[in-house]
Amino acid sequence: MLFLTVNNKRFSSIAMTVLISASFIVHNSALATSYQEITKIDKQCQASSNECLKVIDDALSSLIINSRPWAHLKLLQLDALFNLQKFDALAQELTPLIANDNLPVNFSVYVYIYHAKLLLGNQEKDLAQQYLAKAVSLLNEINDKYPEPVRLIEIANVQIVLKDYQQAKKTLQQLELKFKDRYHPVFKRELYANLGHIAYFQDEKALHIRYREKSLEWAIEANNNQQVGIAYSNLAVAFRKAGNYQLSEQNYKQAVKISQVEQDDINGAISNIRLIEVILLQGKDEEAKKLFNAIPLSSAVFEKSEYYSEIYQALKLTLE
C-alpha cells in the first residue's frame, strides 16, 4: 500500500478502497457511471495506481459530487496519488475537499488524514495534529458503530505518525491475534507494514525483517504490483539496517524493476539511490558508478526533496 515521507521516514497509507464496503457503491439512475463500471474501476485501482489515474477522472466527471459513488472513486484517486507520491497533485485535490462540509463521514476521515500527512511533510506539525485529531475522533466514532479492523489499522498509522509507538503496537498486535485466521490480503499487508514501521523506529532488527517479509507476502497476494514494489523496498531497508547489504541489494533491485513497469518514478528513484548506497557499502564502486550515471537528473525526487537531493549530491561527490 501507500507511502509518505515525513521527517525523512516513510509511512504507509492503507489501500483505502477496502475501508468502504460494497454497500457504499449504490445504484442511482441519475448517475452516468454504472455499478458495473465502478466495480471495474475499483479493481483497476486495486491492481495499479498508475492505471487508476488514467481512468478515474472521466468516471468522476459523470458522478454527482458528494454522492457515495463519487466519494468512493474520489478516494481511489487520492489513494493512487498518495501511493505514487504525487503530493502536489494530491494537495490540489484535497484543497476543495477540506472546505467541503457535505462529504460522507467515512470519506472525510481520509481527507483529514491525507491533509495531515501533507502538513507534516511541510513541517506544519501543530496544524497537522489538529487534523489528525479530527480524523481519530471520527474513526473512533465510526468504529463504535461499525467496527472494522482495517479502520483500526489507520488509527495505528496515525499513532505512528505522532510517535506513539507503544499504543500503535498494542493496537496492531491485538488485530493480528484477533484476525489471524482471516484471509484479507490488503488488511494483512497493511497490518505487517505498520508493525514494520514500529520495529524500524524501535530498532528491533529481526522483527523488522520478519514483518517486512510478511507484508511482502501479502502484497503479492493482494496483486497490486506497485505496492509489491514498495514492500520490496521496505524489506531492503530492513536488511540494510541489519547489516545484510547483499540481501538489501537484491530487494532494492526488485523494487527498481517493478517501479519501472508501474511508472512509479519517485519510489523508483528513491530505491535506485538506496540501491547505489548498499552497492557502495559492499565495495563495488564501479557498479555503483555505472548505476549512478544512469539516474535521470530530471527526477522529481531530486527537485522537490531536499533530503534526497542531499543524498544524490553526496553520492556524486563520492563517485566522481
Residue keyed to cell 497476494: 221
Give the CATH number, domain containing residue 86: 1.25.40.10
Which parts of the chain fold into alpha helices (H)? Answer: 35-47, 49-61, 68-83, 87-98, 105-121, 125-145, 149-161, 165-178, 185-201, 205-222, 225-241, 245-262, 265-281, 285-293, 300-304, 306-319
Structural domain contains residue 225 = yes
pLDDT tens track for 268-300: 989 999 999 999 999 999 999 999 988 765 566
What is the reported pLDDT for 299?
62
Structural domain contains residue 247 = no
Structural domain contains residue 290 = no
Structural domain contains residue 270 = no
Burial 92-101 (b: 16+ CB within 10 A, else e): eebeebeeee
Residues 305/311, Cβ–Cβ less than 8 Å: no
Structural domain contains residue 68 = yes
Nearest Cα residue to 260 out of 50, 66, 26, 60: 50
pLDDT band at 227 (very low <50, low <70, confident <90, very high): very high
Structural domain contains residue 305 = no
pLDDT tens track for 239-277: 999 999 999 999 999 999 999 999 898 889 899 999 999
Residues 49/90, Cβ–Cβ less than 8 Å: no
- Mean pLDDT to the nearest integer, 6-17: 40
The total number of structural domains that make up the chain: 1
Whole-prediction pTM: 0.77
Structural domain contains residue 86 = yes
Within a 10 A sphere around the Cβ of 166, how many other Cβ atoms?
A: 11
Range of the domain at 125: 2-242
Structural domain contains residue 96 = yes
Listed in sequence order, the residues at least 6 apart from 175 whose beta carbon sits closer than 8 Å to its beta carbon are: 149, 152, 153, 156, 191
